Amino acid sequence: MKARLRSRLPVVTATLVAVAFPFVTSPGKHFYAVLAVVYSLVALSLVVLTGWTGQISLGHAAFLGLGVYSGQRFLHAGVPFPAVLVIVGLASAALSLVLAVPSLRLRGVYLAIVTLAFGAACERSIFVLEWVRGIKSGIVPRASLLGFPTTTDRGLYLVGLAVLAAGLAVVHNLRRSDVGRAWFALRDSEDAAAALGVRIAPYKIGAFALSAALTTTAGVLYGMLFQATPGPSQFGVLESFFLLALPVVGGIGSVAGAVVGGALFATAQPVVNLFAIRLFLATGALLAFVAGLAGGRSRSLSMRALQRKYGVTW
């Protein structure tokens, strides 16, 4: 009993800190808090897709843009905010079949090229259509969630925090279920998983669908944060690379790491501005540092394993 309470203490502490944050900080910091929630949702989606199933997506920014543009249309039409989240999530899950079906035949770099082409096609051809976004920016209204207003950044942050908590709960429970175990089996070896009777197609398609739904949900909040629809270039290939870096920094297979990566990159922009450094340059340097740290730790663990097995010392 004590061990269970001790294991839950960090989660409870982090929750209390997150809820109390907008009440003890200045309004200027609430914008970055909402951005951290958005990035955490995107990172969580990539933890499921890349960290747990081994599927690389270089076109995830397209789903973020889809959430912004479709969310703007529904919110502007007066559709209730909870219904918007459900509709956009289901629509993106259906659209993810464009990538999920090829993933049944493609792996590794070949799948990455397909997702890259999907992202480029959305940026250059789909998002510029008049009924999607067009050439003019649209106003994104801030709707309330079950009567709770989002007109201020603090209100939007608390609503976004509730959405993020729901996403974390769903993903955490899936990880501990048979679905999560099947995803890990696919990541380690699809052939071995198939030999053990795991049905490859439903689990791959499900991972893409859940990942797309989480990202488009983040897109709805992203549009509400800026109260406008950014241009298609904001959801291009470079943005997809940036989004892929979010879970890598926090831990590509860690649920908590998704929140860490999202919060880190959300607050990185004002920090790098102080030193007149581009965010993409800082992102590359941080990824190189993390990769080197992980590689050194992996090598150290391998050396220790060899020492225990053969009694060899260096």
**Cα 220 from Cα 142, distance rounded (Å):** 10
User: Please, which residues have CB within 8 angstroms of residue 287's CB and are 6 or more apart in sequence?
Assistant: 245, 248, 249
Give the tens place of pLDDT for each residue, 44-74: 999 999 999 988 888 899 999 999 999 999 9
User: Please, which residues have CB within 8 angstroms of residue 171's CB and are 6 or more apart in sequence?
Assistant: 44, 47, 48, 210, 255
pLDDT grade for 270, boundaries at 50, 70 and 90: confident
| Residue 196 φ then ψ, to 5° | -90, 0
Mean pLDDT of 162-186: 92
Give the tens place of pLDDT for each residue, 190-199: 888 888 888 8
| Residue 122 φ then ψ, to 5° | -65, -45
**Cα 138 from Cα 140, distance rounded (Å):** 6
Does the global pTM surpass 0.75?
Answer: yes
pLDDT of 188: 86
pLDDT of 107: 79
**Cα 245 from Cα 240, distance rounded (Å):** 9
Give the tens place of pLDDT for each residue, 113-158: 888 898 899 888 888 888 787 566 778 888 888 788 888 999 999 9
Give me the helices (H) in the chain, please.
2-24, 30-46, 60-76, 81-95, 97-103, 108-121, 153-175, 178-188, 190-195, 200-226, 237-250, 255-274, 279-310
pLDDT score of 302 more than 50 = no
DSSP label at 78? T
Q: CB of 123 within 8 A of CB of 224?
A: no
Place of tokens 């983040």: 218
Q: Nearest 10 degrees: CA dihedral of 189, 194, 199, 202?
A: 30
Mean pLDDT of 41-45: 95
pLDDT of 106: 78
Tokens of 9: 């203490």
